[in-house]
Amino acid sequence: MTTTIAINGASGRMGKALVQACVENDGTSLAAALVRLNSDVEGLDAGTVAGIAPANVTMTSDRSNLPSDLNVWIDFTLPEGLMNALDYCVANNIPMVIGTTGLNEQQKQAITKAGNTIPIVFAPNMSVGVNLCLSILQTAAKTLGEDYDIEIIEAHHKNKVDAPSGTALRMGEVIAESLGVDLDEKAEYTRHGNIGARKPGAIGFQTIRAGDIVGEHTVTFAGIGERVEIAHRATSRLTFARGAVRAATWLQGQSAGVYNMQDVLGLS
């Protein structure tokens, strides 16, 4: 069974990778490629814009003519664009795969509420490798415990607007949950000047924004006499796009609810 997919923000960096992943996957079909109103690529072929062979799907900002048999909507846009799309998908009963980061609590609650009506896969990182790392981090945190100092270092391209990354925050959440502590109470995001000794149990976050780095995350557990590091480095956005397309095919036929990539990969 072929899964028909609409991609929101199809002209962006991730959007182009999603178009390519969707077209290259044997089990999916690109049904719609959506862009913002008055985009300079509106009316062009989505495949051509993505740098691959023509996909025979035209970039459009008009939702009124979307296919009636649309199975899944994939959205990696900014929070404001996502919220608008969320309302549309709920009203039209379209399942969603959401990879947007930088959401506030109210926006996250809106996604949770939407999950009462439609099935949603919501994850800050769709990479299969990253989600495997999340499972490994659970084991590492439980095994090493609070005797090891924990630092999360993430690096992304210079145009990324939110920090720390959604993936880094999710890593912190997984570690905190495994240790039985509250991340909000243990997280340290900024260090400058005479800060004194490290606080017991702190979970540190360090952010790098430079060049065209796709995405790098390293979690360090530093003990006395040894250091354990769990790292993931992405060299292409296609790794996230292929994971999102995999989530879209899994989502078809699921009941209403909010799922994550651990559910998709059978790791939960």
Give alpha helix (H) positions in the chain. Answer: 13-24, 46-50, 79-91, 105-114, 128-144, 166-179, 183-186, 238-251, 261-265
Q: Is residue 19 a contact partner of residue 6, using CB atoms and an 8 Å limit? A: no
Whether 160 sits among the annotated catalytic residues: the reply is yes
Q: Catalytic pick from 16, 156, 186, 232?
A: 156
- Cα separation, 75 vs 87, in Å, equals 13
Quote the longest CA-to-CA distance of the chain: 63
Strands 215-222 and 227-234: antiparallel
**Residues 6+ away with beta carbon under 8 Å from 265:** 128, 131, 132
Phi (first) and psi of residue 167, to 5 degrees:
-65, -45
**Residues 6+ away with beta carbon under 8 Å from 205:** 151, 152, 153, 154, 164, 168, 169, 172, 187, 188, 189
Q: Catalytic pick from 113, 158, 160, 232?
A: 160
DSSP code at position 223: -
**Residues 6+ away with beta carbon under 8 Å from 83:** 107, 110
Q: Give the catalytic positions in this structure.
A: 156, 160
